[in-house]
Structure 1
Amino acid sequence: MSQEVTVTVRLVRSFAHRNFRPIVYHGVDLDQRVGEFMQHVKNDIVTRAGLPPPFKTYSYDKMKIIHQAHGSKTNELVVGLEEDNKLILHEEHTLRQAGVANETELALFCDQDYEAYKSNPVSAW
């Protein structure tokens, strides 16, 4: 039985500059694979009105859970740097298997940028 939920995806363009844009998706099927959902988001942002061009052409390749409804939030302003083994989604899993539920907030970002920021988490103001 598939369940459709609302999910917010935070497109992260720059960790150091805290440059991101949230997009809300309604009617997300939790039984689709993470890789399918990531591809859907990438296809959607290319034509989405109101999204600055740098966000549309960025090379996103990883997704991580930022926040679950009724859960605690991280102090990190863009994406929490802890618990990667638990919170980074694997493309072959379904969203449900990955722990996504209604009102989950996800980050979509470039893994190379994330690893660079994680090794030196300094904000550039």
Structure 2
Amino acid sequence: MSDYDLPTNLARPKTSAVLTLRIIKSFEFRTEKNLVLKDVNLEKVTVGELKEMARQAIQTQPGWKPYRTVHYDTLKLYTKAHGAKTSNLIINLDHDDWILDDDSKTLAECGFENETEVSFFNRELYEQFKAHPETRWEAEKC
């Protein structure tokens, strides 16, 4: 099997994965921006370290200024490569067991593969949205 025949989640080793973090500023306005991290070692990087990598990028990289006002504290698996995606465009509201609560676990221990997508957000805002999952921009269109 050549490299071209491999599924994308197996195309790179666990020591050099590409991850997409969906940085969610607002659930109700569906404000999110993707942060792509390359060459992430899934066997060594922990959940806590991934959070810190994302926070650092938000604070230092250009184009993230509007996102700097939110306290990001929670990661939740969104999808793996070739996996089913949720019908909710901002976050999957089911599967709270996909929330990564243990900052000491490695990403490999959490089941991460190359091209895993994970949401990064404020847990309090998530719980509020989950209780009342209404988007503002849709309500204003009526």
TM-score by length of 2: 0.82
Query: Does residue 114 in structure 1 map to residue 126 in structure 2?
Result: yes
Residue-by-residue CA offset, 1:60-105 (whole Å, 9 max, x unaligned): 00001111101111000100001111x1113121111111110001
Cα 1:79–1:2 change in 2 (3 A) is closer
**Equivalent position to 2:79, from 48, 67, 72:** 67
Query: Does residue 103 in structure 1 map to residue 83 in structure 2?
Result: no
How far is 1:10 from its partner?
Answer: 0.7
Gaps of 5+ in 2: 1-12, 138-142
Query: Does residue 88 in structure 1 map to residue 83 in structure 2?
Result: no
Number of aligned residues: 123
Instruction: Give the structure with higher Rg (CA).
Output: 2
**Equivalent position to 2:58, from 45, 50, 54:** 45
How far is 1:57 from its partner?
Answer: 3.4
Query: Does residue 23 in structure 1 map to residue 35 in structure 2?
Result: yes
CA distance in 1, matches of 2:111, 2:72: 20
CA distance in 2, matches of 1:25, 1:107: 13
Residue-by-residue CA offset, 1:6-36 (whole Å, 9 max, x unaligned): 0000110000110000011000111211001
How far is 1:108 from its partner?
Answer: 0.4
CA distance in 1, matches of 2:78, 2:14: 23
Q: Match of 2:136, SS?
A: coil
CA distance in 1, matches of 2:85, 2:59: 29
How far is 1:4 from its partner?
Answer: 1.6
CA distance in 2, matches of 1:23, 1:65: 14
The structure with more strand, counted as a fraction of residues: 1
AA at the equivalent of 1:12:
I
TM-score by length of 1: 0.93
CA distance in 2, matches of 1:73, 1:2: 22
Q: Tell me which stretches of 4 or more aligned residues in structure 1 moved more than 4 Å.
A: none
CA distance in 1, matches of 2:129, 2:70: 17
Gaps of 5+ in 1: none
Identity of aligned residues (%): 34
CA distance in 2, matches of 1:38, 1:29: 14
Are 2:14 and 2:108, in contact at CA under 8 Å, matched by a contact in 1? no
CA distance in 2, matches of 1:80, 1:33: 22
